[in-house]
Amino acid sequence: MAVEPGTMNPFAPRKPLPLPLFFTILLLMLGSCSKPTTTDPAWQWQLPEGMPLPVVPAENPMSQAKVELGRYLFYDKQLSANGKQSCASCHQQQFAFAEPTDRSVGSTGQQHRRNALALVNVAYNNRLTWAHDGLTDIEQQLLIPLFSETPVELGLTGAEPQLMQRLKKPPYPQLFQQAFNSEQPDMQQVVFALASFVRSLLSFQSEFDRYAYQNEDEALSPLQIEGMNLFFSERLECHHCHGGFNFTQATSHSQQLLDLRPFHNTGLYYAARPGQAEAGYPQHDRGLAELTMNSTDDGRFRAPTLRNIALTAPYMHDGSLTTLEQVLDFYQAGGRTITAGRYAGDGRHHPAKSQFVRGFQLTDSEREAVLAFLNSLTDPQFIANPEHSNPWLAHP
Ligand code: HEC
Ligand code: HEC
């Protein structure tokens, strides 16, 4: 098998002490000094041995009762003003809590500009959504789907009194009692319970996990191991942005990038913009640049986790790549060339494109190996776990 010289793969040949992982864990530990990790003594994280604990806001410690209440709320269509949608409408367990739609449609039929993110190990994310530098807590972020008006997702603005009425019906009084010792549900408890449920959605049972963390050498096939080595190689560079145990923005080694923000322009677009001098990403979604107003942030989005990636098609912030094969073609070319239509242009030449998206050559068998490795990140137990599933099915 061809192993790249200078490979950065922490898991090959047989995990001595994976250095990138070490730094990731160190950073997480440092992070947790400033922000206390609080947990109900009765709460057990379901994590492989040695995996660092997620950081939880002090005001919302984890508890089994909150997670259970959050599960009922997550699957309850009463959470939308018109009763048509729940969180689970866009975040479906069988697709690792993403949905097989390029861009989400809200409860009133308005189209969202972005693809629903998978909810996989979100407890570890230090930035939330596709391109927001300031959203660091799930509690904050959830206010968007609940209350946003542009576009409407659940559309609860102005409908909170009705929601509180609805929450007086069984099984809620008992669930609120157990979770918050409360007779009078309020919006903050709703948000806290939902955030606790989202934090409980942990996925560490893939073939890759069995190989890397449970010392099951046979869990990955030789083809998958070859793919893993390519993934971590300096030729493909995937690990620079999809690094660490969560295959996301986590720092994978100390000299990685001076810019540690987990947002990158991968060269999806470089299109003329009507009425604007500069070409770039489509005006309706410029990524981080919308917040910073800085053109060097044009098209920068968060590198999402690749765990369960085979289940979460279509891909990218706007769902504009349909399959993993297409994603690989895209990186192989060093960006996307759109030849006709509104967004015609050559993303490969976007001036803000990351230096790590340079394009590379792969033989057919290497390509197959990388795809086989990406498939090894699927966790069948996660999507079958009854603790994450719709509790209302038991309440006809
Ligand atoms: C209409 C579809 C839709 C509904 C309903 C919806 N979401 Fe989302 N969710 C999305 C989309 C789209 C994104 C990406 C948003 C962005 O980047 O701007 C997202 C992002 C998220 C994220 C961020 C994940 C990450 O890794 O950063 C969380 C957490 C989340 N949603 C939880 C929820 C919860 C809980 C509910 C119910 C209260 C909910 N969502 C309702 C479509 C939806
Ligand atoms: C420069 C950083 C960077 C590098 C290098 C990189 N990625 Fe990405 N990746 C991203 C970002 C950022 C996104 C989201 C881009 C967007 O939506 O505009 C992404 C998205 C993806 C997605 C889609 C995720 C989803 O949930 O839709 C896949 C799959 C993926 N990358 C795989 C890879 C592979 C395989 C490699 C190596 C060949 C790689 N990436 C290299 C930053 C990077």
Q: Show pLDDT as tens, one digit a residue, over the chain (396 residues).
A: 333 333 456 666 444 434 444 344 444 444 333 344 455 667 889 898 888 888 899 999 999 999 999 999 999 999 999 999 999 999 999 999 999 999 999 999 999 999 999 999 999 888 899 998 888 889 999 999 999 998 999 999 999 999 999 999 999 999 999 999 988 999 999 999 999 999 999 999 999 999 999 999 999 999 999 999 999 999 999 998 998 888 986 433 333 344 467 899 999 999 999 888 889 999 999 999 999 999 999 999 999 999 999 999 999 999 999 999 999 999 999 999 999 999 999 999 999 999 999 999 999 999 999 999 999 999 999 999 999 999 999 876
pLDDT value for 262: 85
Mutate-to-test residue for ligand 2 from 242, 257, 326, highest number of ligand atoms within 8 A of CB: 242
The alpha carbon of 101 and the centre of ligand 2 are apart by a number of angstroms equal to 18
154 CB near ligand 1 (under 6 Å): yes
Q: Which residues make beta-bridge pairs with 263?
A: 302
3-state SS class at 123? helix
Fold that domain 64-202+381-394 belongs to in CATH: Cytochrome Bc1 Complex; Chain D, domain 2 (1.10.760)
Q: Which alpha helices (H) appear in the chain, and where do they start and end?
A: 19-34, 64-74, 87-90, 138-141, 143-147, 160-166, 172-180, 187-199, 207-213, 222-231, 238-241, 289-292, 324-333, 364-375, 380-384
Q: Could you give the dihedral angle defined by the CA atoms of residues 277, 294, 266 and 220, in that order, rounded to the nearest 10 degrees?
A: -170
Q: Which atom of ligand 1 is nearest to the CA of 112?
A: 12
Per-domain residue ranges for the chain? 64-202+381-394, 237-359
Q: How far is the CA of 393 from the centre of ligand 1 (A)?
A: 23
Phi, psi for residue 99 in degrees, rounded to 5: -145, 150
Question: 145-148, long-range: CB within 8 Å, 24+ apart, which pairs?
Answer: 145/87, 145/90, 146/79, 146/191
Ligand 1 near 96 CB (within 6 A)? no
Q: Would the CB of 288 count as within 6 Å of ligand 1?
A: no
- The CB of 8 under 6 Å from ligand 2? The reply is no
Q: How many CB atoms lie within 10 A of CB 116?
A: 25
Looking at residue 9, its pLDDT comes to: 65
**Which of 89, 93, 219, 94 has its CA nearest to residue 153?**
89
pLDDT of residue 30: 43
- Taking the centre of ligand 1 as the mean of its atom positions, its distance from the CA of residue 395, in whole angstroms, is 25
Q: CATH topology of 64-202+381-394 equal to that of 237-359?
A: yes
207: its two tokens: 């073939």
Distance, first Cα to last Cα, the chain: 55
Residue 131, pLDDT score: 92
Could you tell me the distance, in angstroms and rounded to a whole number, from the CA of residue 57 to the centre of ligand 2? 29
Q: Which CATH number fits domain 237-359: 1.10.760.10, 1.10.40.50, 3.20.20.70, 3.30.70.20?
A: 1.10.760.10
Q: How far apart are CA 93 and CA 390, in angstroms?
A: 9
Amino acid 134: pLDDT: 85
236 lines ligand 2 (CB under 6 A): yes
Decide: 131 and 318 in contact? Cβ < 8 Å: no
Query: For the chain, what's the residue count?
Result: 396
Q: How far apart are CA 20 and CA 253, in angstroms?
A: 5
Q: Identify the bridge partners of residue 250 per DSSP, sorted by sequence position.
A: none
Q: What is the pTM of this model?
A: 0.91
Q: Using CB atoms within 10 Å of the CB of residue 140, give its burial: 0 to 12 exposed, 13 to 18 middle, 19+ buried.
A: middle
